[in-house]
Amino acid sequence: MKNAIEIYDINKSYRNKPALKNINLHVEPGEIFGLIGPDGAGKTTLIRILTTLLLADSGTATVNGCDIVKDYKHIRTSVGYMPGRFSLYQDLTVEENMNLFAKIFGTTIAENYSLVADIYSQIEPFKNRQAGQLSGGMKQKLALSCALIHKPDILFLDEPTTGVDPVSRKELWDMLKKLKKEGITVFVSTAYMDEATLCDRVALIQDGVLLSVDSVDGIINSFRKKLISVKSDDIYRLIGDLRKLDFVEKAYPFGDCVHTILLDSEADENMILDALKNHNHINLSAKQVIPTIEDCFIDLMENHNG
Ligand code: ADP
């Protein structure tokens, strides 16, 4: 089966400042693919290029087998796009927005109601309310309903959970899983690392560069160094002390611990405890832990910078 999205050597700069550098990746049909990276990484730029709203400077890509430049009209009818910022008509009601989007794509709300029923039914009681008057969570549900009303093959969502309350966040991810069951390919961007685990595969992006593309398990399995979680009553002094040890590559705060990546495969938690025993730390402890996707990202980011 052909890939849902194929991207070859895409580059894009804004006023000579690169926003995307040599992006290559593919997305398989029916997967939930996450584009994960901090603010300014290039996520919106890539999504706009794939949804034919922005031209790349160089490179090519296909979406649903169609070229993003030559076949842009076909792509626009076969994908759904939920932009990061609320993009609906604020002065139209909920129902008018839905009808408008349905009409643009030559369909009706009734025709694809089953696809959006789960979310649209929650905002339907407010169907006569202007979109601008809805709460954040409801606006998000309306935007998603509008992006889905023409039953797209591929759904693009640009940071759909940024600034959204935890309940709406969970509802959104449940909805994405349902869409996957319907056979829809989902391409979703986020700055929240914990959402990576909800994706089938992810691309980690920083400063317009893809650092890794794999499943979360694949990325974690390729982290080959020893990671030690160290604790004491004075975390800040502890970080400083750990960074001075010659067998420590990196030490950074992680929750209420300091995650410490070791340079030397022979080194271990006991060497840390031994090296710090005269540093007057209270309640000092150290144990080896399995890295999270966030640890992998920190490691890949710093290696890329360095
Ligand atoms: P993200 O979605 O990951 O936050 P963006 O794609 O919005 O990243 O931005 C990538 C980089 O391009 C950032 O440095 C941003 O400041 C810059 N950028 C984005 N849009 C524009 C624009 N219209 N004009 C100039 N620079 C832009």
Task: Express as a percent the part of the chain with pLDDT over 70.
Answer: 98
User: pLDDT tier at 69 (50, 70, 90 boundaries)?
Assistant: very high
User: pLDDT tier at 85 (50, 70, 90 boundaries)?
Assistant: confident
pLDDT at residue 88, rounded to an integer: 84
**What is the topology classification, in CATH, of domain 5-215?**
Rossmann fold (3.40.50)
User: With 70 as the cut, is the pLDDT of residue 1 above it?
Assistant: no
User: pLDDT tier at 115 (50, 70, 90 boundaries)?
Assistant: confident
Sign of the CA dihedral 212, 44, 154, 53? negative
Token pair, residue 180, equals 């996957």
Token pair, residue 187, equals 């391409």
CA distance 248 to 147: 48
Rounded mean pLDDT, 246-265:
94
Average pLDDT, the chain: 93
Rounded mean pLDDT, 291-301:
94
Name the residue at shortest CA distance from atom 15 of ligand 1: 40
User: With 80 as the cut, is the pLDDT of residue 169 above it?
Assistant: yes
User: With 60 as the cut, is the pLDDT of residue 274 above it?
Assistant: yes
pTM over 0.75: yes
pLDDT at residue 306, rounded to an integer: 52
Q: Is 45 in the pocket of ligand 1 (CB under 6 A)?
A: yes
User: With 90 as the cut, is the pLDDT of residue 302 above it?
Assistant: no
Rounded mean pLDDT, 293-305:
85
130 C-alpha vs ligand 1 centroid, how far in Å?
30
Name the residue at shortest CA distance from atom 7 of ligand 1: 44
User: With 70 as the cut, is the pLDDT of residue 73 above it?
Assistant: yes
pLDDT at residue 112, rounded to an integer: 86
The structural domains of the chain, with segments of one domain joined by +, span 5-215, 224-290
Token pair, residue 176, equals 């994405």
Q: Is 14 in the pocket of ligand 1 (CB under 6 A)?
A: yes
- State which of 11, 45, 297 you would mutate to test the pocket of ligand 1, scoring each by most atoms of that ligand within 8 A of its C-beta: 45
Three-class SS of the chain? CCCCEEEEEEEEEECCEEEEEEEEEEECCCCEEEEECCCCCCHHHHHHHHCCCCCCCEEEEEECCEECCCCHHHHHHHEEEECCCCCCCCCCEHHHHHHHHHHHCCCCCCCCHHHHHHHHHHHHHHCCCEHHHCCHHHHHHHHHHHHHCCCCCEEEEECCCCCCCHHHHHHHHHHHHHHHHCCCEEEEEECCHHHHHHCCEEEEEECCEEEEEECHHHHHHCCCCCEEEEECCCHHHHHHHHHCCCCEEEEEEECCEEEEEECCCCCCHHHHHHHCCCCCCCCCEEEECCCCHHHHHHHHHHHHHC
Rounded mean pLDDT, 66-87:
90
CA distance 32 to 4: 11
The sheet with strand 285-288 has its strands ordered as 248-254, 257-262, 227-231, 285-288
2 C-alpha vs ligand 1 centroid, how far in Å?
30
The predicted-structure confidence for 149-164, as pLDDT tens digits, reads as follows 999 999 999 999 887 8
300 C-alpha vs ligand 1 centroid, how far in Å?
21
Rounded mean pLDDT, 116-131:
91
Q: Is 47 in the pocket of ligand 1 (CB under 6 A)?
A: no
pLDDT at residue 119, rounded to an integer: 87
Phi, psi of 287 (to 5 degrees): -145, 150
Q: Is 185 in the pocket of ligand 1 (CB under 6 A)?
A: no
The predicted-structure confidence for 189-213, as pLDDT tens digits, reads as follows 999 999 999 999 999 999 999 999 9
More confident residue, 114 or 257: 257
Pairing relationship of beta strands 79-82 and 154-158 according to DSSP bridges: parallel
Q: Is 85 in the pocket of ligand 1 (CB under 6 A)?
A: no
User: With 60 as the cut, is the pLDDT of residue 268 above it?
Assistant: yes
CA distance 144 to 168: 12
pLDDT at residue 130, rounded to an integer: 94
The residue to which tokens 């693919």 are assigned: 33
**What is the topology classification, in CATH, of domain 224-290?**
Alpha-Beta Plaits (3.30.70)
Q: Is 44 in the pocket of ligand 1 (CB under 6 A)?
A: yes
User: With 90 as the cut, is the pLDDT of residue 252 above it?
Assistant: yes
